[in-house]
Amino acid sequence: MTLRSLAFAAFFSLTFGIVESSAENPKSDGSIISDYVISHKHWPAKVFRVERTECDCSYALFRIIYLPEAGKPMTANSKSFAVYYDEQRHRVVKEIQFQ
């Protein structure tokens, strides 16, 4: 291979890699989780909020706060819940209730 063809191959590889990675996940993590809540709970977007919570786990932990319950103590029949989110694959992996 000539130097010119190597340079062209490197340029094409870098350009294609950048386009592919930016097109891979155009949505934010918060909007992916919101879409999950809307499709699985059938809640309108205006009745909940998504909050990231720190945890010592392999997945990101997000709390889904049902707004009519915001600021009230959690009870056994609360609608608010949490999800574990895989930041590498951009998907919810598990849903859990608050304890």
Cα angle 80-83-87, degrees, rounded to a multiple of 5: 145
pLDDT in the model for residue 22: 42
- The residue among 35, 39, 91, 97 whose CA lies nearest residue 60 is 91
Contact 50, 36 (CB under 8 A): no
pLDDT in the model for residue 24: 58
- Per-residue pLDDT of 84-96, as tens digits, reads 999 999 999 999 9
**Taking the domains of the chain in order of start, what are their residue ranges?**
27-97
* The pLDDT of residue 25 is above 90: no
Q: Which residues contact 95 (CB under 8 A, 6 or more apart)?
A: 40, 81, 82, 83
* The pLDDT of residue 62 is above 60: yes
